[in-house]
Amino acid sequence: MCRPLLILLLITGALLISTEGQQSYQMLQDILKDTVNQAIEQVNKNVNQHMNFVGFLPESENFYYEFHLRATQCGKTGNNTHREECEFLITRPKINCAVCKEDVQNQPSNRSIHCLPQMQANKAADRRNKSCSKYNVGEGSLLQQREINAAPECLGCL
Task: Give the predicted TM-score (pTM) of the model.
Answer: 0.68
Q: Could you read off the pLDDT of 12-36 as tens digits, one per residue?
A: 444 444 444 445 888 888 888 988 9
How far is Cα 121 from Cα 127, in angstroms, rounded to an integer? 10
Residue 36 belongs to some domain of the structure: yes
- Measure the CA dihedral 13/19/20/24, to 10°: -150
Cα atoms in the 13 Å half-sphere on the side-chain side of 71: 15
Count: domains in the chain: 1
Residue 155 has a CB neighbour count (10 Å cut-off) of 5
How far is Cα 39 from Cα 14, in angstroms, rounded to an integer? 27
How far is Cα 18 from Cα 89, in angstroms, rounded to an integer? 10
Q: Could you read off the pLDDT of 57-95 as tens digits, one per residue?
A: 888 777 888 999 999 999 988 888 999 999 999 899 999
Residue 151 belongs to some domain of the structure: no
Q: How confident is the model at residue 144 (pLDDT cuts 50, 70, 90)?
A: very low
Residue 43 belongs to some domain of the structure: yes
Quick one: which H or E segment has residue 131?
helix 121-132
Q: Determine the straight-line distance between the first and last CA of the chain, rounded to whole angstroms.
A: 81
Residue 8 belongs to some domain of the structure: no
